[in-house]
Chain A
């Protein structure tokens, strides 16, 4: 099992460009998440999908959109990139069974995004 995979690993964009970060998991998990991590800020939730067909905003959703394409895949789109979106983006998944250890989140390796 590959676990959670993310593409690309690195990306440089110019201000105003758009791009989609891809995430896939092969653990048959119900829930998927997108975080960003900035120095000294910990992990902040951008969007999450509790189950296939649903998405909800997290703490910092502005400037992003998401698509839960199917149970395996959850993509994050930046429509018009800004320098403030320079960050490391992590995708995660969990069984989301309603509480307890089943909510352990498994993280992908991250995408390092720089917006110039």
Chain B
């Protein structure tokens, strides 16, 4: 089976930098994605890593270390609108196609 671990909650102040970690155990792994979900909304895609290293998209960056089965999402210059839940998700190759397994999510609270 698959398992993912991420912190349940993180609090930071506006303008700060925050890192949300994700560790995983899975077979058939070929990539790690991050999704954002505001209360009452649908998850939306943020970032994807297939290879080791850092991917940068504006204020958001994501990192992957395949040898450590570890990744993180880095949010810079935090804004109030970044208050949301963030999910890491592992991409898995199966005989029936490709699918994602999601972590339980990290609720980020941005304070003034």
Contact = CB atoms under 8 A, between A and B. Distances in A.
Interface of A: 31, 33, 35, 40-45, 48-51, 54, 56, 58-59, 90, 94, 96, 98-101, 103-110
B104 A103 contact: no
B50 A99 contact: yes
Nearest to A40: B104
Contacts of B44: 107
B93 interface: yes
Interface of B is mostly: strand
Contact of A90 (B33, B42, B94, B99): B42
B66 to A, nearest CB: 14
Contacts of B103: 42
Given A42-B103, A99-B93, A50 B98 contact: yes
B104 A96 contact: no
A56 B43 contact: no
Contacts of B93: 99
B48 to A, nearest CB: 5
- Residue of A42, A51, A99, A107 with most partner-chain B CB within 10 A: A42
B36 to A, nearest CB: 11
A54 to B, nearest CB: 7
Contacts of B33: 103-104
A108 B96 CA distance: 23
- Residue of B31, B33, B42 with most partner-chain A CB within 10 A: B42
A107 B48 contact: no
B99 A58 contact: yes
